[in-house]
Amino acid sequence: MKITLNNEPFDITLENEKSLNELFSGLSEWLNKFGYEIIDMEMDDSKLEIEKFSEWGNILLENIKILNINAISGPDRYISDLQTLYQYITLLKNAITANNTSLTTDLLLELPYVTSAMDTYLTKKDLQKYGILKLQELIANYQKGTGDKLEGKKLLLGILHEITIILQNRIQEVTSPFSELQNTAELLKDLIPSISDVAVLLQTGNDKKAMDSVLNFIDLSEKLIRIFPFLKEYGYTDISKVSINSESFNGFYKDLNDILVELVEAFNIKDSILIGDLMEYEIAPRITKLLEYINLIEKKDE
């Protein structure tokens, strides 16, 4: 039996494996150690879907001539899933806009799988604002035709549009990570004065402006966390190995994360004094240090 991986020669020594089930299990475990996942296989002239494992698992290896294993890395799978989500939401939005009932009905059959993926790839904050339950509610109302049909359609199209924008931004983060990193760094730099003033804003009753600054900082911090792994994946400086004055980035970010946890707890108990102190004395100075680490990441062609 000839075995290839992504249509490339793959040197593998079979031991006691007799069935395709046994080979698949062993290969999956081995590939997972290197950050890869098997997405499907091709046996002779047949495509084997992972979801239909029970149909091909018992096939004996001695009866197979050629087996190609298609595997994808974690980052590539992440990008692929984001793009699939974007295409689905866009197609659904276009079908509803055109009043294409047949296509809309077919697309909505896949909604449970889509909402499950959204729950994985969008943040809790995104889902609270443009979330699954709200989307499902608007779709149900649209299908039933309850209330003002035009208003219901408008609201549904609105939330679908917002979701496509979020997905576009996520895709941009992982396909152009350095550009997104630089843009985020500039936004963080511009945010430092307002972060330093959070305590004063809270004391003078400008709660909304203060909270906007805090939430903006949290958004940018979450974005950095999403971007960093892709910088390494695409050959940029591995920031986890960068040090400034003997302080590693990992150690620095651990301390920053501990402060973020404390900030969230202060939010939960609505402790405005603690929020102000953390933003002014802990987070603002650390943003300046964070920008120093980011500046050490070398640019290359994307």
CA distances from 118 to 92, 112, 181 (A): 15, 10, 24
Instruction: Say yes or no: 7 and 44 in one domain.
Output: yes
Instruction: Say yes or no: 82 and 61 in one domain.
Output: no
- d(C-alpha 282, C-alpha 60), whole Å: 62
CATH label of the domain that carries residue 6:
3.10.20
Instruction: Say yes or no: 188 and 97 in one domain.
Output: no
In terms of Cβ atoms closer than 10 Å to its own Cβ (0-12, 13-18, 19+), residue 92 is: buried
Is residue 302 included in any domain, yes or no?
no
Residues 6+ apart with CB under 8 A from 113: none
Give the domain-ending residue among 173, 188, 221.
173
Quick one: how many helices (H) and strands (E) in the chain? 14, 7
Domain of residue 116 covers 77-173
Instruction: Report the DSSP pairing between strands 36-43 and 66-73.
Output: antiparallel
Instruction: Say yes or no: 106 and 155 in one domain.
Output: yes
CA dihedral 109, 114, 115, 121 (to 10 degrees): 180
Q: Which of 107, 116, 74 is nearest to 232 (CA)?
A: 74
> Within 176-206, where are the H helices?
177-196, 198-203
- d(C-alpha 267, C-alpha 275), whole Å: 7
CA distances from 95 to 68, 215, 241 (A): 37, 35, 48
Give the domain-ending residue among 173, 190, 208.
173
- How many domains are there within the chain? 3
Q: Which of 249, 218, 245 is nearest to 232 (CA)?
A: 249
Per-residue pLDDT of the chain (302 residues; tens, 9 = 90+): 889 999 998 888 878 889 999 999 989 999 988 888 998 999 998 899 888 888 898 999 999 999 999 999 888 888 888 999 999 999 999 999 998 989 988 998 888 888 778 877 776 666 555 456 677 777 877 777 655 678 878 888 988 898 899 899 999 998 899 999 999 999 999 988 888 888 888 888 888 888 888 888 888 888 888 898 888 888 888 888 888 888 999 899 899 889 988 988 887 888 888 988 998 899 988 888 989 988 888 765 54
Give the domain-ending residue among 158, 173, 188.
173
CA dihedral 263, 267, 269, 273 (to 10 degrees): 70
Instruction: Say yes or no: 168 and 109 in one domain.
Output: yes
